[in-house]
Amino acid sequence: MARHSESGRPIETVYGPDALRDWDAAEKLGEPGAYPFTRGVYPSMYTGRPWTMRQYAGFGTATESNARYKQLIEHGTTGLSVAFDLPTQMGHDSDAPIAHGEVGKVGVAIDSVDDMRVLFDGIPLGEVSTSMTINAPAALLLLLYQLVAEEQGVDPARLTGTVQNDVLKEYIARGTYIFPPKPSLRLIADIFRYCRAELPRWNTISISGYHMAEAGATPAQEIAFTLADGIQYVRTAVAAGMDVDDFAPRLSFFFVARTTILEEVAKFRAARRIWARVMKEEFGAENPKSLMLRFHTQTAGVQLTAQQPEVNLARVTVQGLAAVLGGTQSLHTNAFDEAIALPTDKSARLALRTQQVLAYETDVTATVDPFAGSYVVESMTDDVEAAALELMEQVEQRGGAVEAIEQGFQKNQIERSAYAVAQEQESGARVVVGVNRFAGAREEPYGSLRVDPAIERQQADRLSRLRAERDQGAVDAALDGLRKAAEGGDNVLYPMKDALRARATVGEVCNLLREVWGAYVPSDVF
């Protein structure tokens, strides 16, 4: 029976040179570190040093998350990655009625500079690279990070890391948006300008396909809609008067790695090639760094199972290998128990050890781009590229990423793919080991880490003390300055930083911006 890729293309039993479609090695493959970067963005890739091992973590209070970060650093993590709870992601304080029941649940609760100070206590921010998975309120968390670094005596020019800051995919797949698209894009452009002047080594955005993939996007859909969003961000910044080579080198991307190794490798290669051409041909970028698609990868959470959770160790290893063979710049490997609850210390350590085995016990770092010239991988790269370009053209025909989002195009396409996968799993056509095949008759109970519900009360008490202790007049004056900037055309990050330094809360700042810019309500709720 013929097999098909995740993107719906047939997988042949045997591949040879005739499988390569209009393949010109000199133009389409090239050399590692050279246009169009099919073989990787750096000439030496992992032969000099491995990828950044960036384990995603954050739960409960800032104190608990700080302890986990220190453990990860002790165990060999080379970059931190912060998970925030839903109230923080949505710009609400922990004591807001809408936050009830969610404080500290899927990440750490950060309400003010006080919490951020605790989160990074004892961690030298001038020496670590930190990624923050935050979108609509990305500017606030970035500024809180900078404020804490400055308290440590760190020059902001030394700070390295990434803020996700990709709000368009929130409208498509994830839902943690706050403001409508237009002011959201204005805020992103302000972040680009601010970082260009104040945080020159910071990656200003991580344009994310991961969450679309988790919602059901195929590999082709994942890179097509992600790159379409990237094009929208570049157009927004250029329209705001920025030169493409002033900000494009700090753009980064974020993708998933599934268990289908061959297609995932092909996906990453195709994405690099498409992006390089777009930046060169549409935007006229001249700096080679502007043409490079640098990306972080996380293994596929959606493929983890609560049944026989130890099997996830095998899945994560395979997914991590796919990311490495595809040329990722940094990697997070999921813990095997994450389909049940927050990962325990032991499972988080095992996830990191998985990366370390790949880096130090295998030979995948011994050579650059091991699959180069593989008939099957080069053919699949062409297939994924063609499918992605076709989808990107459909986005363009609808007026671009924002207009296509407002028409529900990307969301509809992803939902159709997700439904097809669900049907395949239900029928058994798609095997999920331990779930619809090789399932055990009886499973042993499994213990895991859970968040103490008392955290919500503790955060509320901290907020109460903060409001009693701070200089309310200074807070009000700073918020007034932010309001004027938001109503006008000035960069909002400068007065926002003043407000946060005065100990304004995340919720207070976001509520002010809601008053000025409005809150986004999707059309499909009516």
Other beta carbons within 10 angstroms of residue 440's beta carbon come to 9
Domain shared by 232 and 295, yes or no = yes
Q: What is the DSSP string of 183-211?
A: HHHHHHHHHHHHHHHH-TTEE-EEEE-HH
Range scoring the smallest mean pLDDT among 352-361, 368-377, 517-526: 517-526
- 397 and 489 in a single domain? The answer is no
What stretches of 209-324 adopt beta strand conformation (E)? 251-257, 295-299
- Better-scored residue on pLDDT, 517 or 441: 517
Distance CA 170, CA 173 (A): 6
pLDDT range class, residue 472, cuts 50, 70, 90: very high
Whether 488 and 388 map to the same domain: the answer is no
Out of 427, 443, 463, a domain closes at: 427
Residue 429 has pLDDT above 50, yes or no: yes
Helix intervals (H) in 1-102: 62-75, 86-89
Given this model, what pLDDT does residue 526 score? 33
Structural domain of 371: 3-427
In a domain, 455, yes or no: no
Are 279 and 132 in a shared domain?
A: yes
Residue 1 has pLDDT above 60, yes or no: no
Task: Assess whether 390 and 507 both reside in one domain.
Answer: no
- Does 478 map to a domain? yes
Please tell me whether residue 361 adopts helix, strand or coil conformation.
coil
* Residue 447 belongs to a domain: no
Write the secondary structure of 297-356 as one string of H (helix), E (strand) and C (coil). EEECHHHCCCCCCCHHHHHHHHHHHHHHHCCCCEEECCCCCCCCCECCHHHHHHHHHHHH
The C-alpha atoms of residue 287 and residue 381 are separated, in whole angstroms, by 25
User: Is the distance from CB of 169 to CB of 212 less than 8 angstroms?
Assistant: yes
- H/E element, 457: helix 454-469
Q: Model's pTM, two decimal places? A: 0.89
Specify whether 392 is located in the same domain as 252: yes
Same domain, yes or no: 60 and 192: yes
Residue 139 lies in a domain: yes
120: β partners? none
Domain boundary among 427, 452, 483: 427
- Cα separation, 334 vs 354, in Å, equals 10
- Structural domain contains residue 49: yes
**Mean pLDDT, residues 325-347 taken together:** 91
Which one has a higher pLDDT value, 17 or 101?
A: 101
Contacts of 319 (CB under 8 A, 6+ apart): 257, 258, 259, 264, 299, 300, 303, 333
**Residues 409, 520 within the same domain:** no
Contact 178, 91 (CB under 8 A): yes
How many domains does the structure of the chain reveal? 2
**Same structural domain for residues 349 and 487?**
no
- The CATH number of whichever domain residue 373 belongs to comes to 3.20.20.240
Whether 78 and 189 share a structural domain: yes
What's the mean pLDDT in 384-393?
98
Please indicate, yes or no, if residue 239 is contained in any of the structural domains.
yes
Residue among 526, 505, 513 at smallest CA distance from 178: 513
The answer to whether residue 467 sits within a structural domain is no
Residue 456 domain-assigned (yes or no): no
Pair 418, 483 in one domain? no
CA dist list (Å): 344 to 57, 82, 338, 354: 11, 16, 9, 15
Query: At residue 205, does pLDDT exceed 80?
Result: yes
CB–CB of 446/340 below 8 Å?
A: yes
Burial label, 306 (beta-carbon count in 10 A; 0-12, 13-18, 19+) = middle
Listed residues 427, 442, 460: the one ending a domain: 427
- How much is the mean pLDDT over the chain? 92
Residue 525 has pLDDT above 60, yes or no: no
Q: In the structure, what pLDDT confidence band is assigned to residue 442 with cuts at 50, 70 and 90?
A: low
How many residues make up the chain in this entry? 526
Residue 331 amino acid letter: L
Residue 108 burial class via C-beta count within 10 angstroms: exposed 0-12, middle 13-18, buried 19 and up:
buried
SS3 (DSSP) at 486:
helix
Lowest-pLDDT range, 8-22, 79-93, 194-208, 501-515? 8-22
pLDDT digits (tens, 9 = 90+) for 106-147: 899 999 999 999 999 999 999 999 999 999 999 999 999 999
Q: What are phi and psi of 449, to 5 degrees?
A: -75, 135
Residues 303 and 408 grouped into a single domain: yes
